[in-house]
Chain A
Amino acid sequence: MKPGWWIKPAVFTASLIPLCAVIWSVVNGTAGPNPIEAIEKQTGEWSLRFVLLSLAMTPMAQLFKSIWPIKLRRMVGLFAFFYVVVHLLAYVVLDQSMNLTYIFEDILKRPFITAGFVAFLIMVPLTVTSNKYMMNKLGKRWKVLHRTAYLVGVAGVLHYVWLAKGDQLEPLVYLAVLLVLLGYRMTGLIKGR
């Protein structure tokens, strides 16, 4: 077998652990008396973590001079989408009981929900075009399209910063990570990397 054959299945399995942890916490009661809030918080945070991780893959490949982050980038990005879908479903089905009036009102009137929804919308074409076929078909435009992943990061972090009451430390940590990643890429672009 090729060296490193186990890396992809291992990352795949590890990426499912947060989902199992969320389900387990709801079933055994450690999610607390407001399990919907707990599901939304956990899946939302994990989606954001995967978004930022996917943005960190190219810099990591350059820093560690390794091809593996590039090979794993798509999977990490797809897990970001997977967790945002679970997050959105929890909001639509559990939190709002599928009441479209309340959902549209939220999307239009609450900036933090607008930002979160925008992040989700940008992720849809990125997911659809994440396969080899679309990569070949889009050619140079693929790279431009997938740079919008940074916008997902910006919208996702805004979503979190704007919803937090009182303690903003956690969302601001995500903001700091995003700014470091953006800064790294900006200097890279300037240097023509």
Chain B
Amino acid sequence: MRKRTIYSAKIRETEVTDKAVFRQRRSFIKQAAALGLTGSIAGGVSQAQAGTPLQGPIIKSPYSIDEEQTLKETATTYNNFYELGLNKGDPAKNQNWLKTEPWTVQVDGECSKPGTFNLEDILKPHAIEERIYRHRCVEAWSMVVPWNGFALGDLLKRFEPNGNAKYVAFTTLYDPDRLEGQRSRVLEWPYVEGLRIDEAMHPLAMIATGMYGEEIPAQNGAPMRLIVPWKYGFKGIKSIVKITFTEEQPPTSWNLSAPHEYGFFSNVNPQVNHPRWSQARERKLTGEAAGGLSALFTAKVDTLMFNGYADEVGSLYSDMDLAKYF
């Protein structure tokens, strides 16, 4: 108990610490990691722990699930973010490739209030929530992650989409000079994703600016990313710089790369297998301390329809053939 008191006292202290000091500390730790001061084995872990706590109150969301959370070290060192490298451990190692300051988001298309906005202005009106969501990758692994952010719909409404806005498209930062992964031809760059407008306005769809009560790190899509918990993880586009309201269904990166394998909707569906592998079950990555061997002997679990969010989102697709519109 005593230890906990000290810990909360520490948090109070950081709340009054100037943001510039945080940034300094953070870049110092990053530089130390880059210089190899932290050692190669501990490197990933210490980078993952170098998070900046979010400021201000965090509201607990009723949408949170009550399941064992994935360790922060796991969720921040096992990532698919090809812009920062192709292997799962690469994005955490290469997080300094992503420059998030300054950051602007361009909003255009079928809406009354388009424009280019500083990140601060995008985020300012929104109270930050904690939403503990299941996260299911198309590669058949999953995590349980406490995201921090707000409903996507609340953001989109501010730009007053008009009657022609049937879809909303998102674009990731394109910066091949720094994001070395964008020099590889594994996907077309920049990464693009999209949702039907009713999906985007669904209260479960969110913009995450943090996770585990800290600012979202580069490898997880800093400074703002999409989270759509009933869809495969690749729909949750990272490091968003552009939002476009469209009348036509927008192109999406994995669908462009392999249309027969990755559909526009990509809802989690245990009955519709990937052409090459099963989606019926998933390996749940909860994480454990290094050297723990229980992960070796934990069986896969059944994948749930819409990743367990069928009650909330099933009505969006009630008259659709989900095997055709996969």
Which B274-326 residues have a C-beta within 8 angstroms of A?
A: 276-278, 281, 283, 285, 287, 289-293, 295-297, 299-300
Bitwise interface map of B from 130 to 154 toward A, beta carbon under 8 Å scored 1, else 0: 0000000011010000000000000
Q: How far is the CA of A111 from the CA of B186 in the complex (A)?
A: 22
Contact status B187-A29, CB under 8 Å: no
Chain A residues whose C-beta falls within 8 Å of the C-beta of B27 in the assembled complex: none
Decide: A97 and B299 in contact? CB cutoff 8 A.
yes
B121 CB to closest chain A CB (Å) equals 35
A71 close to chain B: CB less than 8 A = no
Residue of B186, B283, B299 touching A167 (CB-CB under 8 A) = B186
A25 CB, nearest partner CB in chain B, Å: 10
User: How big is chain A's contact interface, by range?
Assistant: 20 to 34
Please tell me which stretch of B2-10, B49-57, B81-89, B163-171 contacts chain A, meaning at least 4 of its Cβ atoms lie within 8 angstroms of it.
Answer: B81-89
B20 at the binding interface (Cβ < 8 Å): no
Contacts of B71 in A (CB 8 A): 33
Task: Determine if B289 and A29 form an interchain contact, defined as CB atoms under 8 angstroms apart.
Answer: yes
Complex CA–CA separation, A156 to B275 (angstroms): 19
Asked whether B141 lies within 8 Å of A34 as measured between CB atoms, the reply is: yes
Residue B189 is within 8 A (CB to CB) of chain A in the complex: no
Partner of A106, one of B187, B278, B283, B287: B278
CA–CA, A127 and B299, complex, Å: 32
**In chain A between 96 and 110, which residues have their CB closer than 8 angstroms to a CB of chain B?**
96-97, 99, 102, 105-106, 109-110
Contact call A162/B276, Cβ cutoff below 8 A = yes
B290 in contact with A29 (CB, 8 Å): yes
Determine whether the beta carbon of A110 is less than 8 Å from that of B277: yes
Docked CA distance A162–B289 (Å): 33
| A163 within 8 Å of B (CB atoms) | yes
B88 adjacent to A166 (CB under 8 Å): no
Distance between Cα atoms of A102 and B280 in the complex (Å) = 10
Listed residue (A35, A105, A162) with the most chain B CB atoms within 10 angstroms of its CB: A35
The count of A-to-B residue pairs whose CB atoms sit within 8 angstroms is: 71
Give the nearest-CB partner of B287 in chain A.
Answer: A33
With contact pairs A34-B78, A110-B277, A166-B86 given, residues A28 and B290 touching in the complex (Cβ less than 8 Å): yes
A29 to B71, CA, bound (A): 14
Contacts of B116 in A (CB 8 A): none
Binary flags per residue of A23-43, CB closer than 8 Å to B gives 1, else 0: 000111110111111000000
In the complex the two chains form, is A32's CB within 8 Å of B276's CB? no
The reply to whether B297 and A32 contact each other, CB–CB distance below 8 Å, is no
Q: Is B106 an interface residue (CB 8 A)?
A: no
In the assembled complex, which residues on chain B have CB atoms less than 8 Å from the CB atom of A165? 138-139
- Shortest Cβ distance from residue A29 to the other chain B in the assembled complex, whole angstroms: 2
Q: Which of B82, B141, B293 contacts A166 (CB 8 A)?
A: B82
The yes or no answer to B74 lying at the interface (CB within 8 A) is yes
Closest CB in chain B relative to A87 CB, distance in Å = 15
A94 close to chain B: CB less than 8 A: yes
B interface list, Cβ under 8 A from A = 41, 71, 73-74, 77-78, 82, 86, 88-89, 138-139, 141, 184, 186-187, 257, 276-278, 281, 283, 285, 287, 289-293, 295-297, 299-300
